[in-house]
Amino acid sequence: MATPDAFKVGSLKCKVTLITGASSGIGAGAALLFSRLGAQLALNGRDVDNLTKVAKECEACGAVKPLLVPGDLTDEDTVKRTVEEVIAHFGKLDVLINSAGILAMGSIETTDMAQYDKVMSVNVRSVYHLTHLCVPHLIKTKGSIVNVSSVNGQRSFPGVLAYCMSKSAIDQFTRCVALELASKQVRVNSVCPGVIITEVHKRAGLDEDQYAQFLEKCKVTHALGRPGEVEEVAHAIAFLASDAATFITGVNLPVDGGRHAMCPR
């Protein structure tokens, strides 16, 4: 039984943490928060320049220099190399944060198979593969996994079909793996953000005016009347990964300003 002092996010100190998608958005925000909390970081991302900038910001927070393991996780060899490098460098793995993902616009009429395959490959298949390879190491440390899902996995929205499907898969993946690893004391949870201010929507095709209108609409689509900030999601990730959440597993935690609870009237 953990002592009361252990129930704090500061229990991430010296925890070896692999964060994917760390070159931008929620992954980058998690990297900065975890660095401030004393974690030892391995950072993955496809944009090497941005990943290097994030690593320098982590060092500026007083963290040990992060290990950079850049690469596209849809490539199986990259996934294997990533895990091998983390274990070779640190000798163990305590926390896995699956944050890498893409957003793509499209309906059943407009989403072709190439787009569908790309979304599912990045958002689901790569998460499955990386987790599969990390699990033996997480069992040794009785570690934890936090997947970055979305309110789109819990609620249905038109025009982002493949993305919604991918995030529903991540929610189910989270619950199933949590049950499979519970007897080995490995916890598995996910965060399900609403609209968070990042570049992901612009990368998916929204121009500046469309994005501004999209954020303005959050005043009515989110109960708290605004979009969220990256750091707000990062704090939820840190909580679930830490010893403050030692009796929590299989949870898909909304971090969405109440959007999941809303219904049209």
CA angle 12, 18, 19 (to 5 degrees): 100
Is residue 64 within 8 Å of residue 74, measured between CB atoms?
Answer: no
CA 23 → CA 77, 169, 207, distances in Å?
A: 20, 24, 21
Is residue 155 within 8 Å of residue 193, measured between CB atoms?
Answer: no
Told to judge if 163 belongs to the known catalytic residues of this protein, a careful annotator would answer yes
| Integer-rounded Cα radius of gyration of the chain | 18
Rounded Cα distance, 27 and 230, in Å: 9
Is residue 15 within 8 Å of residue 90, measured between CB atoms?
Answer: no
Tokens of 51: 């990943």
Place of tokens 């069992």: 139
Is residue 70 within 8 Å of residue 48, measured between CB atoms?
Answer: yes
Rounded Cα distance, 7 and 2, in Å: 7
Rounded Cα distance, 218 and 227, in Å: 6
Rounded Cα distance, 128 and 136, in Å: 14
Rounded Cα distance, 62 and 100, in Å: 25
- Would you please indicate which residues are annotated as catalytic (active-site) residues? 163
